């Protein structure tokens, strides 16, 4: 027994050795790669989830072994909010006696079905689809592992975390180009149910791809800022980041996502600010690199102007699928506006208990109007803000309000005060979270495992820590 404890202690000691920081970052990069390869869809029946979620738990266990108490404190609040959400889902799964669940909102119809069939009323949970609620519970393994893997990164390697996400965006964009060049049902599409013929990249849905590309635009500006602290290859990295920003912007024009086009265009402003901040606050000093700064500024200015001109030209010549869809309010846009009253009705019907996480598809079918019937079906509300209220009830609202309060508080805390420099990583992640919030008005990005991981990491950057002087 003592021998086993000794071996375990030695193993943990080795894992915690400072020389293992590079291994921790490599593990983080591997985790992100696996999540993006296997977790680009929101459906609960995707086969890759059977592999992804256990792998996420393995990475979470690894993080628990190598982390110390101070590192856990970094992501304490996001973990507590995640734990509160998990607890709410578990409460919704607990079977209740018929005398209780039949008194819950909109359950009398279900009770009547048992009565008409001559069957005894069984014990039943709050969640109207327990299997989907369990799926929602296990889906939290991805953001939990992402938070823990972020927490164990050393200060130097923590700066490279956003670079990994940027590389994921590049990979997804390049795969999208291959999808456009190949067959609409070719091998480059990773999911059976997807937007065939469109550059969805590592995702099943064009809107989710467009959101990642929009985040890539923002991170390109951040990397231009970060490049100014490099003593070598500074111009090269700046040029690469500026070139990718242009590619991302052009990609949004052919992605066919209205929300992505709007959010991506909005990300240009903070991306420009991050790049400008890097030039005006270079740690290497303006005198030593004055000539390089001059040519880099010139190159980047021309790049931004060229990107904007190409953007306008594409709109003018009507070759932008996303812009065409933005101007055309028919199709799915019209459907979203038509179902909005039904979603409000569901909020009223199931509040304050909620219908249970993952149950929207089933509760919506109960009230779906005949004029809205189509060959396809609505599996999500396409408004995650309201869907949380429908499925989570008052508990979901309270968790959402707690997160918003924490987010506003942390967003205000990143700005300079008392000699503390502006935390540009945290500022970039503020806009990442804002992008998720905007996308959630018309979509459901936080039901996609890979985007859940990105969101969790952004929250990790906002968490308070002792080494806030990251500039």
More confident residue, 301 or 78: 78
Per-residue pLDDT of 54-67, as tens digits, reads 999 999 999 998 88
Which pLDDT band holds residue 288 (cuts at 50, 70, 90)? very low
More confident residue, 231 or 270: 270
133 and 93 in contact (C-beta within 8 Å)?
A: yes
Per-residue pLDDT of 249-259, as tens digits, reads 888 888 878 88
List the single range of 200-204, 325-329, 460-464 with lowest mean pLDDT: 325-329
Which pLDDT band holds residue 339 (cuts at 50, 70, 90)? confident
User: Which of 269-283, 286-300, 363-377, 388-402 ranks highest by mean pLDDT?
Assistant: 388-402
Mean pLDDT of 75-91: 95
Above 50 in pLDDT, residue 284?
no
User: Which of 69-73, 162-166, 244-248, 316-320 ranks highest by mean pLDDT?
Assistant: 162-166
Above 50 in pLDDT, residue 319?
no
With left for phi above 0 and alpha for psi between -120 and 50, is residue 23 left, alpha or beta? alpha
Above 50 in pLDDT, residue 467?
no
Query: What is the model's pLDDT at position 53?
Result: 97
Mean pLDDT of 173-194: 90
Above 90 in pLDDT, residue 347?
yes
Mean pLDDT of 27-50: 94
What percent of the chain clears pLDDT 70, i.e. is strictly above it? 77
Query: What is the model's pLDDT at position 294?
Result: 56
List the single range of 33-37, 158-162, 163-167, 310-314 with lowest mean pLDDT: 310-314
Global pTM value: 0.87
Query: What is the model's pLDDT at position 471?
Result: 37
Mean pLDDT of 24-47: 94
If you average pLDDT over every residue of the chain, what do you get? Answer: 83
Which pLDDT band holds residue 286 (cuts at 50, 70, 90)? very low
Query: What is the model's pLDDT at position 321?
Result: 54
Above 90 in pLDDT, residue 322?
no
Q: Which two tokens stand for residue 163?
A: 């670079």
Query: What is the model's pLDDT at position 459?
Result: 95
Query: What is the model's pLDDT at position 470?
Result: 41
Query: What is the model's pLDDT at position 253?
Result: 83
Above 60 in pLDDT, residue 343?
yes
């Amino acid at each position: 027994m003592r021998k086993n404890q000794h071996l375990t202690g030695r193993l943990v000691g080795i894992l915690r050795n400072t020389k293992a920081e590079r291994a921790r970052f490599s593990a983080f990069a591997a985790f992100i790669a696996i999540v993006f390869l296997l977790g680009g869809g929101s459906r609960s029946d995707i086969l890759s989830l059977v592999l992804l979620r256990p792998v996420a738990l393995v990475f979470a266990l690894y993080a628990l072994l190598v982390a110390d108490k101070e590192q856990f404190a970094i992501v304490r609040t996001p973990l507590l909010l995640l734990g509160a959400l998990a607890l709410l889902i578990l409460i919704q799964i607990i079977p209740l006696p018929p005398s209780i669940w039949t008194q819950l909102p909109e359950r009398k119809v279900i009770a009547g079905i048992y009565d008409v069939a001559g069957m005894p009323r069984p014990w039943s949970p709050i969640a109207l689809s327990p299997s989907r609620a369990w799926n929602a519970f296990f889906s939290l393994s991805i953001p939990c592992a992402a938070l823990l893997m972020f927490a164990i990164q050393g200060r130097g390697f923590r700066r490279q975390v956003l670079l990994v996400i940027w590389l994921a965006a590049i990979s997804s964009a390049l795969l999208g180009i291959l999808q456009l060049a190949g067959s609409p049902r070719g091998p480059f599409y990773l999911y059976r149910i997807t937007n065939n013929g469109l550059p969805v990249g590592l995702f099943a849905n064009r809107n989710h791809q467009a959101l990642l590309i929009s985040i890539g635009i923002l991170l390109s500006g951040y990397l231009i800022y970060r490049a100014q602290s490099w003593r070598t290859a500074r111009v090269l990295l700046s040029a690469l980041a500026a070139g990718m920003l242009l590619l991302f912007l052009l990609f949004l024009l052919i992605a066919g996502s209205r929300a992505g086009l709007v959010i991506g265009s909005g990300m240009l402003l903070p991306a420009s600010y991050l790049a400008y901040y890097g030039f005006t606050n270079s740690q290497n000093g303006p005198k030593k690199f004055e000539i390089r700064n001059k040519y880099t500024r010139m190159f980047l200015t021309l790049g931004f102007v060229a990107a904007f001109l190409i953007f306008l030209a594409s709109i003018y010549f009507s070759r932008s699928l996303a812009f065409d869809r933005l101007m055309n309010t028919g199709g799915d846009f019209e459907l979203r506006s038509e179902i909005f009253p039904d979603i409000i009705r569901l909020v009223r019907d199931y509040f304050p208990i909620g219908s249970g996480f993952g149950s929207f598809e089933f509760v919506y079918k109960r009230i779906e109007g005949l004029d809205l019937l189509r060959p396809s079906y609505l599996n999500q509300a396409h408004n995650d803000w309201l869907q949380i209220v429908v499925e989570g009830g008052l508990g979901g609202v309270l968790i959402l309000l707690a997160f918003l309060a924490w987010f506003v508080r942390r967003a205000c805390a990143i700005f300079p005060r008392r000699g503390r420099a502006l935390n540009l990583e945290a500022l970039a992640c503020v806009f990442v979270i804002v992008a998720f919030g905007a996308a959630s008005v018309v979509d459901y990005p936080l039901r996609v495992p890979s985007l859940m991981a990105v969101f969790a990491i952004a929250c990790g950057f906002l968490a308070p820590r002792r080494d806030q002087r990251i500039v």
